[in-house]
Amino acid sequence: QNIEYRNPLKLGKYIREKIKDDKMYYVFLDEIQKVTEMQNPYIDYAEDKITFVDVLLGLMNIKNVDVYVTGSNSKMLSSDILTEFRGRSDEIRVNPLSFSEFYSFYKGEKQNAWREYYTYGGMPYLMSLSTHEEKSKYLKNLFSKTYISDVLEHHNISDPSIMDDLLNIISSSIGSLTNPTKLANTFKSVKHMPIASRTISSYLDDLIDSFLIRKAYRYDIKGKKYIDTPIKYYFTDVGLRNARINFRQQEENHIMENIIYNELLLRGFDVDVGVVEYNYKDEEGKSKRTQLEVDFVANKGSLRYYIQSALTVGEEDKRHQETNSLNRIADSFKKIVVVKDNIIPWHDEKGILYIGIEEF
């Protein structure tokens, strides 16, 4: 019934007529991309167009108006909007539910809630579904019809099969170190398809722009510098990842790592993958140099946490394996090992905190 307001001039006029006094007005515009571009009737120049951007810029000049806009990934990404408004707008990212948010809606034991969460993720609509079939169908449709269709349309991708295969590879290797060149080599060796690494890089950027995946850079903790490559990719929602591969690869360690990464971002941290280099002598007495990994280096202002994700550290050898990198970091920032089990938090003799995933 509001189809006439897809005309940008009529939309702007309608909104302005509603603003009758100095009170604060909040304007919410959903699916803004449906507002069509039109010829400027006031200027006799064919290339001069009026779009929704002009409408919004006009509204932004009214002091008692606050405007909120959503749009489809197929027509515009949030990065496009930020470019159009050149610093005059703020991006509000609406994320899937965190585990604590999910559990606040869940009717059942926390352990069962965790199992549901790492299987189906945190898309809010899932809370209204009960069976695996319903949840699986919803997530698969969301993945293909909302995310992928939008990405293919927005970026005019000519060969969807490449994107399809790339998604399968990324979904099967969350939290693994990789880069566009390595992925291109995988296409060449496994798929027998010669794909340029720059094409892979472009497709990965498209998936990041659509908020389907995120990337974490490697940070040399001792050298205090970033390492260009390789990097890690994580899914914004693990349920979408699991649905993509038909819930086959349920490696709880990798899924847990992905969830911890997302949780840290939701808490406002900047998150990198840590690298600790050190020298040692081999059995022949020769000096060697190697690298150990810290799953996450989380920074927010003056805060920093070094975090390892591990299913269990019950055995002494396993505990040494998970803490070896942490113990080689010389600074005094807090070091944490997050485990799957619901344990009472405790510190070892070197001050490392051990905490269960649910408590974390």
Per residue in 10-65, pLDDT (tens digit) is 999 999 999 999 999 999 998 888 888 888 888 887 788 888 889 998 998 899 99
Residue with tokens 């990719």: 233
Degrees to nearest 5, angle at CA 215 with 209 and 218: 150
Max CA distance (Å), the chain: 85
- Residue 120 has what pLDDT? 98
Element (H, E) at 32: none
Structure tokens at 351: 């001050």
Q: What is the reported pLDDT for 1?
A: 72
Confidence of residue 126 (pLDDT cuts 50, 70, 90): very high
Helix (H, G, I), strand (E, B) or coil at 21: coil
C-alpha count within 13 angstroms, C-beta hemisphere, residue 327: 9
Amino acid present at 203: Y
Report the C-alpha gap between 359 and 110 in whole angstroms.
10
Q: For the segment 252-306, what is each residue's pLDDT rounded down to a tens digit? A: 899 999 999 999 999 999 999 999 998 888 888 888 889 999 999 999 999 999 9
Cα 338 from chain centroid (whole Å): 20
C-beta of residue 11 within 8 angstroms of C-beta of residue 55: yes
Tokens 């019809």 identify what position? 145
Cα dihedral value 29, 33, 35, 41, nearest 10 = 120
Q: Where are the domains of the chain?
A: 3-85, 96-360
DSSP-based helix, strand, coil % in the chain, nearest 5: 40, 20, 35
Residue 334: strand pairing partners = 305
